[in-house]
Amino acid sequence: MKLYTRRELALSSLIAVLSALLILSGFLLLRKERSTGPEPRLSLSERGLPADSFTDVFNPPEGEYTQEEMLNIALYERLNEGVVNINTTVMSYNFFLEPVPKEGASGSGSIIDEKGYVLTNYHVVKGAQQVYINLADGSQYEGEVIGADRENDLSIVKFDPQGKDLTVIPFGTSSRLKVGQKVLAIGNPYGLERTMSTGIVSAPGRPIKNEDNLIIRDMIQTDASINPGNSGGPLLNTKGEMIGITTMIYTPSGGSVGIGFSVPVDTARRVVPDLIDHGRVLRGWIDMDPIQLFPNLVRYADLPVSEGILVSTVTSGSSADRAGLRGGSRSRAVRLDSTTVIYLGGDIIVGIDGKKITSYSDFYSALEDSRPGDVVTVMVVRGKKTVELDITLNERPEGRL
């Protein structure tokens, strides 16, 4: 027979008491649940999700989805039908030089008005002979490109919804984006319609040069998965507002590596009215013939700076002429090629409204968001002096780029 010390007897008694307490507490909790029933299901607003933007569009089993998943699901179910799949045909030539249609680019777009206006990228519909808009219900409509902005890679396509109720993607703002802010992209990567991906704002305000060698300012960088076919689709915030238009990716492989770029929606807000009303963006212009400096020209003319825009000619009687901008001399003409003659001796533009001007891209970018009638401060090098001129802008001639 084993003998126990007082300490062992006390420890054994304590363990027995604790075990009894645990059994009693479990019994009491079970009775409470049976008497009160299961915990009531909370609505989206009660779970802390944006009540002003979402409603309980689904009723999931208790505990099946996290709050973040519920937000994603609600946003997708509310807005995915506002994203369209765009297919185009372009004109090609066969062996006998006969024009024949062939399949062109495909991409995405956002319905921005119930009348059938769709916002997409310029490169999605560039050169298209026919444009087809495919809706979420499988219906297809022929669209028409009614406005194009090559500089910001944006276009407006119009189709006739024939009385159908359309889901509209609302505009938000891109002026207050923060690194780390959650974003969602809906599009048609590789033709897989209405695919959603999520990520964050990796960096706002990126100046990115597009395939036409034009700089698009303030691009939004994101790690949300973007692939061919996403172009033109919306980049959304968690309120379900468009903050960008998915445009391009950086990739060494052809697929997404987590570096994508979207045109900021504030740019679209500015240009869309002109695209709908005029088919193009009305921009300000300095009435002059600009020539980008290059090494041979700098050496030949012994210019005081190596970067900037040489003013070859100024339109007589224009606002630029009245402001004192000087072109080159007819007696100092040099031929650049079979069609271009440069007149030396004119001002060299090195800045516009505080922005440094070194190239055509800088020059056009500095005037991109200007309007006819705006006044800009132009800094020019004139001989050995630097001069500032306040110039009232005229309208840029159509096709001048």
- Catalytic sites, residue numbers: 123, 153, 231
129-152 CB burial, b ≥16 within 10 A, e <16: eebbbbbeeeeebebebbbbbbbb
CA-wise closest residue to 239 among 313, 173, 178, 191: 173
* DSSP-derived 3-state class of residue 217: strand
- As a whole number of Å, the end-to-end CA separation of the chain is 105
Q: Tokens 């372009």 map to which residue?
A: 90
Does residue 288 contact residue 314 with C-beta atoms inside 8 Å?
A: yes
**Residues contacting 65, CB < 8 A, separation 6+:** 73
Element (H, E) at 242: strand 242-249
How far is the C-alpha of 338 from the C-alpha of 291, rounded, in Å?
15
DSSP 8-state symbol, 93? E
**Residues contacting 292, CB < 8 A, separation 6+:** 309, 310, 359, 360, 363
How far is the C-alpha of 67 from the C-alpha of 42, rounded, in Å?
11
Query: How would DSSP label each residue in 350-387?
Result: EEETTEE--SHHHHHHHHTT--TT-EEEEEEEETTEEE
Measured over the CA atoms of residue 281, residue 282, residue 285 and residue 289, the dihedral's sign is: positive
Does residue 123 contact residue 149 with C-beta atoms inside 8 Å?
A: no
